[in-house]
Amino acid sequence: MNTIVPPKPPKSGVKTIRNIIIGIGMLALYIWTFATIEIPWDRIFSQRTIDNFDRVIPKLFSPDFTFASRVFEYMMETLFIAFTGSFMAAILAVPFGFFAASNINRNPFLNTLGKWILNADRTFPEILLALIFVVAIGPGAFAGVLAIAIHSVGMLGKLYSEVVESIDMNVVEAMEANGANKIQIFFYGIMPQVIPEFLSYAIYRFEIDVRASTVLGIIGAGGIGTLLVISSRNRNWDEVGMILLVIIIFVSIIDYISTFIRKRIV
């Protein structure tokens, strides 16, 4: 049997030259960067740095287990902040999602406005929103909840609108054709198609929010970050170690559960 090798992909000279130019450009950029910056190697590897590492690192790896119950308490608060915030966002994002979906909101101006609102909302990081809410309503978990909720609406609204845009509109047409009104079409034709994806994204967002809310306490918006900032200011590195350990365990467990549930849903 004679084997026929598939023909080589066509080569274009222009592309080769373009790639070579890009390669040279990148190389020049690296050389220029390393040639001009001064890296203070002596400061990085100074005796002081090494002493600090010697002092901190071993303590981080020998967490203070007597501290565990307090850490656990604050971690639960963090979870509650993330859950409440995600839950609020998961519901608030529904109207925004439909408003920004081009197959439901057919007015091009309003549709673009909807998408723009969600884009604008996403540009505010949680920590910035939390800063605003801590000032506006005082420090504590509620400020954190609002920061998480408002930020998550931006992302969930966008993801929801993409889900809505991908539904089978033929089903909607079939319902129209049997005399259903708009509300009935919404509940019978649209909701069954979008609910599983909505839920899946909401759970995914909760997973992200757990991570985000661990740092909110640093600026006074409640949760385990509060503890983190106190312990690190007091240089109790064994306590910080305990906090990090708890965060890592909780985040891993939640990631695992969330992936498991999301696989089952869709």
Partner 1 sequence: MIEMKDLSLVYPNGTQGLKNINVKINKGEFVVIVGLSGAGKSTFIRSINRLVTPTEGQLFVDDEDILKYKGKDLRKLRTKVGMIFQNYNLVKRSTVMKNVISGRLGHTGTLKSILNLYSKKDMALAYESLKRVNIEEKIYSRADQLSGGQQQRVSIARVLTQQPSVVLADEPVASLDPPTSHQVMKYLKKINSEDNITTIVNLHFIDMAMEYADRIIGMRAGEIVFDGPASKVNEKTFEEIYGRPIKEDDIRGGTEENVETP
CB atoms within 10 A of CB 206: 22
* Pick 180 or 229: Cβ nearer partner 1: 180
Match 């007015």 to its residue by tokens: 107
Of the candidate residues 17, 76, 120, 174, the single one contacting partner 1 (CB under 8 A): 174
- Number of residues interacting with partner 1: please give it, by CB under 8 A: 20
* Pick 90 or 185: Cβ nearer partner 1: 185
CA distance 42 to 48: 10
What size, in residues, is the chain? 266
* Pick 58 or 192: Cβ nearer partner 1: 192
The C-alpha torsion from 17 through 23 and 28 to 31, rounded to 10°, is: -160
Question: What distance, in Å, lies between the first and last C-alpha atoms of the chain?
Answer: 47
* Pick 140 or 196: Cβ nearer partner 1: 196
Which region, judged by CB under 8 A, interacts with partner 1, from 12-20, 31-39, 135-143, 173-181?
Answer: 173-181
Of the candidate residues 189, 220, 223, 241, the single one contacting partner 1 (CB under 8 A): 189
Q: Which of 56, 82, 16, 47 is nearest to 238 (CA)?
A: 56
Of the candidate residues 193, 232, 245, 255, the single one contacting partner 1 (CB under 8 A): 193
DSSP 16-60: HHHHHHHHHHHHHHHHHHHHH----HHHHTSHHHHHHHHHHHHHH
CA distance 204 to 41: 42
Q: How far is the CB of 177 from partner 1 (least distance, A)?
A: 4
**By the rule CB under 8 A, 178 interacts with partner 1:** yes
Of the candidate residues 102, 117, 196, 230, the single one contacting partner 1 (CB under 8 A): 196
**By the rule CB under 8 A, 168 interacts with partner 1:** yes
Q: How far is the CB of 94 from partner 1 (least distance, A)?
A: 16
